[in-house]
Structure 1
Amino acid sequence: MITFIKATVNDVYKVISVQTQCFIEFLDRYHDDTINPTNESAASIKRYIEDLNSTIYFIKNNDTVIGIIKLKKEQEKVYKIDDFGILPEFRDQHLGTNVMIELQKQYTFVHTWKLSTILEEERNIYFYEKLGFKRVLETAPIKINDQMTIVDYQLNK
């Protein structure tokens, strides 16, 4: 059973640990030093947690932390998924899909979900498109470096 546990300022270093485990492979692959959550500072995470329009959740399956998700309210019914990661040992078990389904059940008031993802990560693209997200073509892709491009996706309910 998927549940979300809201992170507090006391959880900053736990957030760093989970983020590092979830995103280190992308840092190693793409060398996206400036944007990879693995390199996010404790101060930045603390500010995110303290921001009334932002929430960090530890994702649990039963009693085990399996990942992390960060949400930012952009408008009354518009939310952005800033980071979403499943720990490597829990991938390929359909847990990511279950997380997104449960998230939408708990956030029924949200009409528009936004996110950015790595264009070169076919697995991410397939995952979000399978869930109904559509590429936002009005927003130009952002070239991070020679190996990595960020693109925007949106899901309208």
Structure 2
Amino acid sequence: MVAKLELANVSDAVVLKALSMEAFTPDFEQYGGFPPGVDDIDWHLDQIKTEHYYKIFYNDELAGGILTVPINGVETEIKLFYIAGEFQDKQLGSQTIALIEQCYSATKKWSLVTPYKSYRNHHFYEKQGYLKVGEFQPEPDDVFRLFQYEKQK
């Protein structure tokens, strides 16, 4: 299996939106919503224009996307990371993390958030060297929480 990353372009927005919505459907079913922006084509277009939104390929098939936000020269946030269901359990996630870390080789601190009941995500990120460093409620009146993870290089 060969994973590959390519910067997304404007013509990819529709397919990336569809792939992300498919990948985040379990979150929608569990929490009643998608991650912010995932269901909005304009949001995907805006993220593509940052030139930090990558398409993830599995043996030349488009399998998902990863959006990074460089914070400064040494810190990068993974804002969105998704792989379509048919491509999961193929080591694609691990290879994608390795590839994105190569793209941002000067990064010393990686960060991300993931939902509190996304146990599979917790396990995956911990396997990749991330540590849970906190949690917060985006909406104070809602029980939904996000776990914060970081990885130091």
TM-score between both structures, scaled by the size of structure 2: 0.88
Query: How much is the aligned-residue C-alpha RMSD, in angstroms?
Result: 1.7
Q: Quote the Cα distance in structure 2 between the aligned partners of 1:46 and 1:38.
A: 11
Map Cα deviations across residues 84-114 of structure 1 (whole Å, 9 max, x no partner): 1111111122221121122222321111111
- Deviation, structure 1 residue 143: 5.2
- Deviation, structure 1 residue 127: 0.7
What letter matches 1:8 in structure 2?
A: N
Q: Quote the Cα distance in structure 1 between the aligned partners of 2:37 and 2:59.
A: 25
**2:117 match:** 120
**1:97 match:** 94
**2:43 match:** 44
- Deviation, structure 1 residue 36: 4.5
- Deviation, structure 1 residue 38: 3.8
What letter matches 1:43 in structure 2?
A: D
Residues 1-157 of structure 1 mapped to structure 2, 5 A cutoff? 1-33=2-34, 35-39=35-39, 41-51=40-50, 55-137=52-134, 140-142=135-137, 145-146=142-143, 148-157=144-153
Map Cα deviations across residues 23-60 of structure 1 (whole Å, 9 max, x no partner): 11211121025x35542x12222222223xx5111100
Q: Quote the Cα distance in structure 2 between the aligned partners of 1:9 and 1:50.
A: 8
TM-score between both structures, scaled by the size of structure 1: 0.86
What letter matches 1:81 in structure 2?
A: I
Q: Quote the Cα distance in structure 1 between the aligned partners of 2:138 and 2:74.
A: 29
Where in structure 2 are there 5+ consecutive unaligned residues? none
Percent identity of equivalent pairs:
23
What letter matches 2:105 in structure 1?
A: T
Q: Quote the Cα distance in structure 2 between the aligned partners of 1:43 and 1:62.
A: 29
Question: How many equivalent residue pairs?
Answer: 150
- Deviation, structure 1 residue 128: 0.6
Where in structure 1 are there 5+ consecutive unaligned residues? none
